[in-house]
Structure 1
Amino acid sequence: MTEHDVTLFDYWRSSASYRVRIGLNLLGISYAGEPVDLLSGAQRSQENLVRNPQGLVPTLSIDGVELTQSLAILEYLNETRSVGWLPADAVGKARVRALSYAIAMEIHPVCNLRVARHAAALGGTTVEEWMRHFITDGLADFEGMLQRQPEGRFCYGDQVTLTDICLVPQIYNARRWGVNLESLPRTIAVSARLEEIPAFAAAHPDRVRPQS
């Protein structure tokens, strides 16, 4: 598979895009990166809306199809490449999905930059205060969920799962917005292990940021 067989339309700082980059790196899939500049509003351009009607990133062009929504993309990769990002048993699948959704469907949507900016524009808060409040609360809830799982190297056992792919971008965002992480010992220990894996490190925003 050459880099021209797969194209990822993303933004370097997007958490959802970061997840997909990690997934592709874990699979060793080379891809051509096509930046969609969220700051300039390129996500709402007609060109991007054709491939992603929500006007979002990422969009992954692979296997002759275009896919959107990061978790749907990762589950597609998991199913078509037999990766094992979800446990084989139904209970394990449900628990990994619950942990993943706690990040991708609880923390992420309310901490989307356009949501935070709108809240700040209404008054009574700033973008920074909004981000710190909801990321802090969300990660505290996640830590509680994680503490209920058996000890392992990663979020669910000793194998990388969908949850781990969601966690690292969220911790990046937490640090970006100055969230105090001291009360999250297990979350931070897992994240530190994951950040040492080359596929995760290579997907870091600082590694893929377009050069001006």
Structure 2
Amino acid sequence: MTLYGYFRSSTSYRTRIAMNLKGLDYDYIAVNLAQDEQLEAAFQSINPQGLVPVLQADDLLLYQSPAILEWLEDIYPDTPLLPKDAAGRMQVRALSAMIGCDIHPLNNRRVLQYLRHELSVDEEAVLAWCGRWMKEGFDALEKRLANDKTRGKFCYGNHPTFADCYLIPQVSSARRFKVDLSAYPNIVEIDTHCRTLKAFADADPMVQPDAP
């Protein structure tokens, strides 16, 4: 398998975590978003949407990280990242969607570049924009986590799930955009614990081959 990604891309990061948790080996091809390599013909032929990650498995090209994670779960079920019961799977998918649908898209590179270059928003206002939507999402997520009295050291239960694959990159992004996390002790606790695990540590942006 070959993973096309970018070291700082949250969606690439969550995919790396999932693949590491499942113990999968893969080649890595960096697509430099800072230099707009995703817009070049070579990558557009792989993914016309111009987004990472893309996972190539033999002749199959997979795109959109939620779909990739679901595919990995179907094809490599021995290390499950979803609970066995339907209610548990719903909870994990809902937690993941809170991050992947309601926080991340408002803070991804395309949106921030539009704010900077098309609307002439200064960097202080960009940080305020990021903080606004991350805090709103984290407020709700923190309450969900606090109310789950059966939860262990992860977002759900006692084992890492999709939700942790989504959360840790979002926390990393929040720190990069100088979001104060002191109001989110459960989120910080989960993040701290996950980062002690090799699968998460090896997926960290700053240890990727294309990191500066």
Aligned-partner SS, 1:60: strand
Report the identity percentage: 38
2:109 matches 1:113: yes
2:211 matches 1:207: no
Partner of 1:3: none
2:95 equivalent among 94, 99, 117: 99
Q: CA deviation at 1:91?
A: 0.9
How far apart in 2 are the matches of 1:117 and 1:129? 15
Deviations 1:23-64 (A, max 9, x none): 111122121110111111111111111211211000001243
Partner of 2:128: 129
Aligned-partner SS, 2:101: helix
How far apart in 1 are the matches of 2:100 and 2:121? 26
Tell me if structure 1 keeps the 8 A contact 2:93–2:162: yes
State the Cα RMSD in Å.
1.5
Q: How many residues are matched? A: 207
How far apart in 1 are the matches of 2:173 and 2:5? 16
Tell me if structure 2 keeps the 8 A contact 1:12–1:205: yes
Q: CA deviation at 1:210?
A: 1.9
TM-score (norm 1): 0.92
Partner of 1:198: 198
Partner of 1:56: 51
Structure 2: 5+ residue stretches without partners? none
Structure 1: 5+ residue stretches without partners? 1-5
Q: CA deviation at 1:148?
A: 2.4
Aligned residue runs from structure 1 range 159-170, under 5 A = 159-170=159-170
TM-score (norm 2): 0.92
Partner of 2:15: 20
Structure with the bigger RCO (C-alpha within 8 Å, sep 6+) is: 2
